[in-house]
Structure 1
Amino acid sequence: MTTPSRLPDRSARRWPLSRIIGAAVLVISVFSVVAMAAGGLALGRLDQQRGRVENIIDPAALDAQALDSALLNQETGLRGYALSGQQDFLAPYTDGLAAEQSTITTLRTLATALPAPSAANLETVIQQAHTWRIRYAEPLIKQVAASGKPVVSPDILAGKAYFDALRARLAAFQADVSAARAQTLHELNDASDTLQVVLIVIAVVLAAIVVLLAVALRRSAIRPLYRLAGSARRVADGDFGHEVVASGPREVDQLAADVNRMRGRILAELTALHEANEALTAHATDLQRSNAELEQFAYVASHDLQEPLRKVTSFCQLLQRRYAGQLDERADQYIEFAVDGAKRMQVLINDLLAFSRVGRSAAGETGPVSCAAALAAAQANLENQLTQSGATVTAGPLPVVSAQLPLMTAVFQNLLGNAIKFRGEAPPRVSVTAAQDGTSWLFAVSDNGIGISAEYAERIFVIFQRLHDRATYPGTGIGLAMCRKIIEYFGGRIWLDTDTDTDTDTAAEGAGAVFRFTLPVLPEYPSLRSQPELPQVQESHG
């Protein structure tokens, strides 16, 4: 198994996940800046060429056309005025002159942004127009105005030559504007194509970067996490010997190291648990063997020892009856001791056999048992003792519990028998009550007898433990031990209540004793019952 100290040294050389993600974000950010710069440049060039066409070339072409129209209006008006001599025909000339001045002002501003020959050609057009007006138009207007009649001057051919030269200069300027517009449109198309290429390249490169980053993140972060998760699931499924190895970001390596430490801890705990289980199994085997030996002893006691013990008892009783009074007093005493010992041995063997059979009887299946019925059976079994002692037994409503009727009868019979046996000067008075305490029934059996000191509260439940001599209070000391074994077998507990404040009125009349025990509540029998059916009388134990 890899030692935990090696993993942090190895993981320290790896990039943490935050740095990997930061590097990916940095790459995308740098590309975004470059893409925005390239796209901005291409878009700026496109906007520049579009603005040149819309704001310079097209207005210059329109103004050149307007200038041509203004010059034509001047020439037409001048010719009509010369042929008619009427002042109204001179209006197109006047309007054309005003339009020319306005158009020339605009064209001079636009011509500075046109190619170099365009501005020079515009100035040539302006100069040529000025020459036509000075040398032909204005003298003709003065001549017609002076005579008031139409004038047919031989200078008309010269004026036509001047105007043709002017139109030629204007045509050259318009050609410059058209050429500039064609060139600008070509550059505009190139800028548009460049922008499209830049956008396509950005899209392709962005897709490539995303794919590369996705592959890199998958290989450097996601795939190690998948491998780590698979190893963790394998360990979780029970393969604690599988070493968790991860090759990825620092956090994944550290997590793998933590999982390995946890796996090692669990493996150590499991090893200790397996060793404990093996020891427990060995102890269980020994316990089974001991139980088997105990069962064998119970069998021997119930069969093999009973017969010779009955013979000893019978012959001792025969000796007692036949030779009573024929021997000396000491011999009669010895025979009495032998008979009494044999009888007590027989009772002890029977009680021990009954104690060992608790929970092992043929009718070992538990079921609903009326505690009132069990108490009635115990009273029936102790009828002679109750009558002779003048004892009275009072009982409140008692529940139905999951138990065995013979064993519950034995519990009540032993508790009632103790109340009769350890009575005081007054006739025994026994009270049996029950009340629900959460998920359990709490029983109380109280009497007005001699009572039991609190220091013996646990000792009285130990098998064969007695607090009094056999001459005063006969018995084997097994009754309360059997009660505890039966109650615990049915899922409850029994104890001597040493708190006199909780004693019943019956117990308060004498020193008394109060025994309490619990049994689980049956969901199908949640209430107390007071009218039981009397069962058959059961055999007394203890």
Structure 2
Amino acid sequence: MTTPDYTTRWPAKRLLFAAVAILILVSGGAVGAVAVSLSQLTDARLLVLEQIGPARRHVQELSTAFVNQETGVRGFALSGRDDFLAPYTSGQADERAALDNARGRLGSTKPEYSAALDQIEQYAIEWRGSYAEPLIAQVRARGPNAAAASTDQGKELFDRLRGAADDLEGKMAVDVDAARAKLDNAANVVLWVTMSVGALLILLIAIVAIVLYRILIAPLAGLAEQVRVVSSGDFAKQVDVPGPREIVMLGHDIDAMRLRILGDLESVREAHERLDTQSKELQRSNAELEQFAYVASHDLQEPLRKVASFCQLLERRYGGQLDERADQYIGFAVDGAKRMQVLINDLLAFSRVGRMAREHTIVDLGELVNQVVGSLSPAIQEAEASIDVPADLPSVRGEASLLGGVFQNLIGNALKFHGTEKPEVRLTVERTDGFWTFTCRDNGIGIDSEYAERIFVIFQRLHHKDAYPGTGIGLAMCRKIIEYHGGTIWLDTDQDTGTTFRFTLPVVEESETPNE
């Protein structure tokens, strides 16, 4: 597997940052464009609604104020009555208010308008000073007929004043129309900019989504598909995906894991092949062992029986006719032949445990132990022993004959290896999780802790056969039987006196226990 060059690929973090940066830049540009358009729209709106438009209305009010003043002066000149001067007086107040309002609306945005207002104000002052006020004074002094001589001069001055006001209002009307057109244009620009920005953002988001899909989502989906192929059992499939640095590195790590799994599978396959070979070898060995057992049980025991029979025949026929040493030798031969037969039988029994399996059944250990104690009653009576068996021994699953052999060996050993006191054997049981733990305790000679494992080895004896009879296979048989039933057996070395053996057997589920 080749290692990809990660340095030539952008990491996913950089790609995401680039996409976000592009979105931010475009969004910022779009917001800026919209802001400029809105600013222009606001300026146009302010010009129309807050400046020129209201100022134009005040100029129109100014023209009305001038007309009212002129009407008042003319009426007073014709009638001489002071009440006709009311429009003249109120017109001056309206004039001042209109001028102040117009100047306030315009401010410094339109200097030419301010200059025009100043000119109009000057014309109004000249009209009043040169015509209106002198005319009013003449009428007060001489009567209505005194104003006829200055009428032409007043008309000329007032026409100049009205013309200036009308010219300013006309210019304002033109500017208002231009501002309205600018306002409409700005509104259209805002609309088009907004629509364009929206379309651009949608297009950009779509492009970013497509790019992200191609450089992130698609490689991840491809990686997931290849991983599913490998996880389905095709470990020969190489995991190799393009994309950002992190995805390529992840694919490389997964492929490295695939190769390790492939190597482990190859090791397991080789182990299975070795196991199959060993299994076949074991089957062959078992077949040879079966043949050996047959030979041991028939072909070997037959010569031993003949040796024992002829030695016994010699002992009976020539007993007393030979010297004492000859009789002793014949006794040795008979005893050796019999011991050999016992050893062969015990060895055959040991080899059959777990090999000649029978169907496991539910075994009532209380009844089984009572049968064992009954079979040992001659030895119990001879040793004057006491056997304490609990009444609530459980039922377990197994072979009754083999389990009976365990109890018979343990109780028999307690009767055999007793001290000067009368043997006392006590059986107890307790449940620990999914196992029954049995205890067989006696007050015999005990076993040193250093021999805790040796005693379970076949044909290992701690005492001479003359001191304690036996073949040394009993505890080895017990361990093999208990392990065959899924438990363990050991010597409890924490006891100070006597011997204590403990062993476990699996608990039988209540559904498996037969109803009473």
User: So what's the TM-score if we normalise by structure 1?
Assistant: 0.84
Higher relative contact order (CA 8 A, sep 6+): 1
How far has the Cα of 1:46 moved from its partner?
0.9
Measured against aligned partners, the alpha-carbon deviations of 1:351-374 in whole angstroms (never above 9, x if no partner) come to 22222222344633143x233222
Query: Structure 2 matches for 1:142-161, cutoff 5 A?
Result: 142-149=137-144, 153=148, 155-156=150-151, 159-160=154-155
Change (3 A) 1:79 1:316: same
Equivalent residue for 1:29?
A: 24
More off after superposition, 378-387 vs 303-312: 303-312
Equivalent residue for 1:192?
A: 187
Q: Distance between the aligned counterparts of 1:301 and 1:82, measured in 2?
A: 167
How far has the Cα of 1:490 moved from its partner?
1.5
Q: Distance between the aligned counterparts of 2:152 and 2:209, measured in 1?
A: 84
Query: Secondary structure of the equivalent of 1:355?
Result: helix
Is the Cα contact below 8 Å between 1:43 and 1:195 reproduced in 2?
yes
Structure 2 gaps of 5+ residues are none
Query: Structure 2 matches for 1:462-541, cutoff 5 A?
Result: 462-501=457-496, 508=497, 512-524=498-510
How far has the Cα of 1:54 moved from its partner?
2.0
How far has the Cα of 1:466 moved from its partner?
2.4
Q: Distance between the aligned counterparts of 2:308 and 2:262, measured in 1?
A: 64
Query: Residue 222 of structure 1 is aligned with which of 205, 213, 217?
Result: 217
Measured against aligned partners, the alpha-carbon deviations of 1:273-299 in whole angstroms (never above 9, x if no partner) come to 333332233222212221222123324
Equivalent residue for 1:206?
A: 201
Is the Cα contact below 8 Å between 1:17 and 1:221 reproduced in 2?
yes
Q: Distance between the aligned counterparts of 1:449 and 1:75, measured in 2?
A: 151
Q: Distance between the aligned counterparts of 1:119 and 1:178, measured in 2?
A: 16
Query: Secondary structure of the equivalent of 2:162?
Result: helix
Query: Structure 2 matches for 1:243-258, cutoff 5 A?
Result: 243-258=238-253
Equivalent residue for 2:289?
A: 294
Q: Distance between the aligned counterparts of 1:392 and 1:478, measured in 2?
A: 25
> What amino acid is aligned across from residue 369 of structure 2 in structure 1?
L
1:83 maps to 2:69: no
How far has the Cα of 1:134 moved from its partner?
4.3
Equivalent residue for 2:440?
A: 445
> What amino acid is aligned across from residue 290 of structure 2 in structure 1?
E
Query: Secondary structure of the equivalent of 1:444?
Result: strand
> What amino acid is aligned across from residue 379 of structure 2 in structure 1?
Q
Query: Secondary structure of the equivalent of 1:498?
Result: coil
Q: Distance between the aligned counterparts of 2:489 and 2:280, measured in 1?
A: 30
> What amino acid is aligned across from residue 507 of structure 2 in structure 1?
V
Q: Distance between the aligned counterparts of 2:134 and 2:444, measured in 1?
A: 164
> What amino acid is aligned across from residue 194 of structure 1 in structure 2?
V
Q: Distance between the aligned counterparts of 1:424 and 1:124, measured in 2?
A: 148
Query: Secondary structure of the equivalent of 2:85?
Result: helix
Q: Distance between the aligned counterparts of 2:57 and 2:147, measured in 1?
A: 35
Q: CA RMSD in A?
A: 3.1
Change (3 A) 1:147 1:481: same
Change (3 A) 1:347 1:71: same
Equivalent residue for 2:455?
A: 460
User: So what's the TM-score if we normalise by structure 2?
Assistant: 0.88
Is the Cα contact below 8 Å between 1:348 and 1:476 reproduced in 2?
yes
Q: Distance between the aligned counterparts of 1:486 and 1:408, measured in 2?
A: 7
Query: Structure 2 matches for 1:152-191, cutoff 5 A?
Result: 153=148, 155-156=150-151, 159-160=154-155, 162-191=157-186
Which one has the bigger helix percentage?
2
1:383 maps to 2:369: no
Equivalent residue for 1:365?
A: 360
More off after superposition, 173-182 vs 258-267: 258-267
Change (3 A) 1:379 1:74: same
Is the Cα contact below 8 Å between 1:393 and 1:430 reproduced in 2?
yes
How far has the Cα of 1:260 moved from its partner?
3.1
How far has the Cα of 1:310 moved from its partner?
4.9
Q: Distance between the aligned counterparts of 2:222 and 2:173, measured in 1?
A: 71
More off after superposition, 118-127 vs 182-191: 118-127
Change (3 A) 1:304 1:52: same
How far has the Cα of 1:179 moved from its partner?
0.7
Q: Distance between the aligned counterparts of 1:455 and 1:105, measured in 2?
A: 124
More off after superposition, 483-492 vs 34-43: 34-43
Q: Distance between the aligned counterparts of 1:333 and 1:97, measured in 2?
A: 171
Query: Residue 374 of structure 1 is aligned with which of 356, 364, 368?
Result: 368
Structure 1 gaps of 5+ residues are 502-507, 526-532, 534-542
Is the Cα contact below 8 Å between 1:60 and 1:111 reproduced in 2?
no
Query: Secondary structure of the equivalent of 1:243?
Result: coil
Change (3 A) 1:119 1:388: closer
How far has the Cα of 1:115 moved from its partner?
8.3
Matched residues, number: 512
How far has the Cα of 1:484 moved from its partner?
0.7
Is the Cα contact below 8 Å between 1:394 and 1:430 reproduced in 2?
yes
